[in-house]
């Protein structure tokens, strides 16, 4: 099966700060680094490093060539990425603290110039049995999702950033992968993770839900079961793309035929490794690294 990740490609500008800047304040950054990122690109890299055959679709400006090289180096097919002449590549301004926390400001750029013609061209290469992975950093998501469902593709959505415009799309997603903040926004109230997962399942009975809880692990819920996975204790350097790494490894496990408990362990091990390294896409580990780590701690884990 082929996995199409139709999503954002960003240039990440990461500023090291003593704390997040407040309204009206001027704060000096200790350093600036540029990385490849974007939730779409990060998830494509994670899916591919986790063992899936991945095609990335999206758009960059003339300044985004190194993002395509990052995807290609990870083994991702990039023939469905368009290079636009009149708009810059999307970018993210990321403040990162010493404890590895971040906050992100996005500029959409080329990510917001997806056309229905590009979607039609891209989807003509995919069909029933293939999967579509989406986030919320590009335009035309409703059209994209409707066309993919019409083709019989399985659809996974990471509703990030969360906004009300996504609500009508949720019943059509096969897999919904989100964090606690996004779950609270979606439900309109905060709650204990188990309560939120149950509420999401009640609202979306046809959807498998995966709730990530950072250092508190993750929860999975489908019609048959609710599972909890603990997170590995690590010293976080940079949490950027931890969720994207989890998403890519979890979905690669599921699409590769593994059971949910194994896919959760695979994903949480990958995310734990990613947060010990700087940057978004460059921090995502390889399948071999993750499997080696799993076999050290859990000898019974089996490869994809
Ligand atoms: O999830 C992390 C990503 O969010 C960053 O790489 C940034 O580009 C934003 O899209």
CA-nearest of 223, 230, 222 to 267 is: 230
- Rounded mean pLDDT, 209-227: 95
The answer as to whether 19 is a domain residue is no
- Residue 81 Cα to ligand 1 middle (Å): 18
User: What is the number of the ligand 1 atom nearest to the C-alpha of 11?
Assistant: 8
Q: Does ligand 1 have an atom closer than 6 angstroms to the CB of 238?
A: no
On whether residue 122 sits in a domain, the answer given is yes
Q: Please tell me the chain's helix, strand, coil percentages from 3-state DSSP, rounded to the nearest 5.
A: 40, 25, 40
Asked if residue 15 belongs to a domain, the reply is no
Catalytic residue list:
244
State phi, psi for 134 to the nearest 5 degrees: -130, 155
In angstroms and rounded to an integer, the radius of gyration of the C-alpha atoms of the chain is 18
244 lines ligand 1 (CB under 6 A): yes
pLDDT given for residue 304 in this prediction: 42
Does a structural domain hold residue 76?
yes
In terms of Cα–Cα distance, which of 182, 180, 129 is closest to 159?
Answer: 182
Torsion of CA 139, 145, 146, 151, to 10 degrees: 130
Q: Report how far ligand 1's centroid is from the alpha carbon of 37 (Å).
A: 5
| Tens-digit pLDDT profile for residues 169-196 | 999 999 999 999 999 999 999 999 999 9
Judge if the beta carbon of residue 13 lies within 6 A of ligand 1.
no
Angle formed at CA 200 by CA 234 and CA 256, multiple of 5 degrees = 60
Do residues 76 and 40 touch, judged by C-beta distance below 8 A?
no
Alpha-carbon distance of 32 to 256, in angstroms, equals 38
Only one residue has tokens 């999975």, namely: 220
Say which CATH number the domain at 233 has: 3.40.1190.20
Mean pLDDT of 12-39: 96
225 Cα to the center of ligand 1, angstroms: 31
Contact partners, residue 224, CB within 8 Å, separation at least 6: none
| Those residues with Cβ within 8 angstroms of residue 143's Cβ, 6 or more apart along the chain or in another chain | 116, 119
Residue with CA nearest ligand 1 atom 2:
241
Ligand 1 center to residue 276 CA distance, Å? Answer: 17
Confidence (pLDDT) at 299: 43
What is the CA(92)–ligand 1 centre distance, in A?
Answer: 7
pLDDT exceeds cutoff 80 at 155: yes
pTM above 0.75, yes or no: yes
Q: Which of 7, 8, 12 to mutate to test the pocket of ligand 1 (most atoms within 8 A of CB)?
A: 12
Contacts of residue 124, defined as CB under 8 A and 6 or more positions apart, other chains included, come to none
Domain count for the chain, please give it: 1
pLDDT at position 284:
97
Residue 262 Cα to chain centre, angstroms:
19
Strand partners, 91: 11, 107
* pLDDT band at residue 287 under the 50/70/90 scheme: very high
Residue 216 has a pLDDT of 93
Query: What is residue 12's DSSP assignment?
Result: E
Report how far apart, in Å, the C-alpha atoms of 283 and of each of 43, 202, 240, 269, 286 are: 12, 36, 9, 13, 10
Question: Is residue 241 in contact with ligand 1, taking CB distance under 6 Å?
Answer: yes
Is any ligand 1 atom within 6 A of the Cβ of residue 137? yes
95 lies in some domain: no
How large is the average pLDDT for residues 83-96?
Answer: 98
Residue 240 near ligand 1, beta carbon < 6 Å: yes
Let me know if residue 33 belongs to a domain. Answer: no
Ligand 1 binding pocket mutation candidate from 8, 34, 64, 94 (most atoms within 8 A of CB): 94
Name the closest-CA residue to atom 6, ligand 1.
37
Q: Residue 286: what pLDDT?
A: 97
Look at 15-24, 79-88, 158-167, 290-299 and tell me which has the smallest mean pLDDT: 290-299
- In this prediction, residues 267-272 reach a mean pLDDT of 97
Determine the angle formed by the axes of helices 39-49 and 65-73, rounding to 10 degrees.
20
Task: Report the DSSP pairing between strands 175-179 and 154-157.
Answer: parallel
What average pLDDT does range 138-165 have in this prediction? 97
- Ligand 1 atom closest to Cα of 41? 6
Give the CA distances from residue 184 to residues 141, 192, 222, 253, in Å, rounded to whole numbers and listed in that order.
21, 10, 19, 27
Q: 234 in a domain, yes or no?
A: yes
Cβ neighbours of residue 199 closer than 8 Å, sequence gap 6 or more: 187, 191
pLDDT, residue 100, reads 84
What confidence category does residue 298 fall into, taking pLDDT thresholds of 50, 70 and 90?
low
| Mean of all residue pLDDT scores within the chain | 95
Model confidence at 302, pLDDT cuts 50, 70, 90, reads very low
Instruction: Taking residues 209-229, report their average pLDDT.
Output: 95
Partners of residue 155 on adjacent β-strands: 132
- Per-residue pLDDT band for 142 (boundaries 50, 70, 90) equals very high
Instruction: With beta carbons less than 8 A apart as the criterion, state whether 80 and 56 touch.
Output: yes
Q: Identify the domain containing residue 75 by its residue range.
A: 3-9+39-88+110-303
Is the residue at 116 inside a domain?
yes
């Amino acid at each position: 099966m082929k996995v199409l990740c139709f999503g954002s490609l960003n240039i990440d500008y990461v500023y090291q700060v003593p704390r997040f800047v407040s309204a009206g304040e001027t704060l000096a950054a200790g350093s600036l680094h540029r990385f490849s990122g974007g939730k779409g690109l990060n998830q494509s890299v994670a899916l591919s490093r986790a063992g899936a055959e991945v095609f990335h679709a999206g758009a960059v400006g003339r300044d985004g060539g190194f993002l395509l090289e990052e995807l290609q180096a990870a083994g991702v097919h990039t023939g469905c990425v368009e290079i636009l002449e009149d708009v810059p590549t999307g970018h993210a301004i990321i403040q990162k603290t010493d404890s590895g926390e971040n906050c992100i400001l996005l500029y959409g750029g080329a990510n917001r110039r997806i056309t229905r013609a590009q979607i039609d061209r891209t989807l003509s290469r995919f069909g029933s049995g293939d999967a579509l992975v989406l986030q919320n950093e590009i335009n035309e998501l409703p059209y994209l999702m409707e066309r993919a469902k019409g083709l019989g593709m399985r659809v996974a959505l990471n509703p990030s950033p969360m906004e009300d415009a996504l609500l009508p799309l949720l019943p059509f997603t096969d897999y919904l992968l989100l964090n606690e903040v996004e779950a609270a926004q979606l439900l309109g109230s905060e709650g204990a993770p188990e309560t939120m997962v149950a509420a999401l399942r009640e609202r979306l009975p046809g959807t498998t839900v995966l709730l990530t809880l950072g250092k508190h692990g993750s929860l999975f819920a489908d019609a048959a079961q609710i599972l909890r996975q603990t997170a590995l204790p690590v010293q976080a350097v940079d949490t950027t793309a931890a969720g994207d790494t989890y998403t890519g490894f979890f979905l690669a496990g599921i699409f590769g035929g593994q059971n949910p408990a194994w896919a959760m362990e695979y994903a949480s091990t990958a995310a734990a490794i990613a947060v010990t390294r700087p940057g978004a896409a460059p921090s995502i580990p390889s399948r071999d690294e993750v499997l080696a780590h799993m076999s050290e701690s859990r000898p019974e884990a089996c490869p994809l």
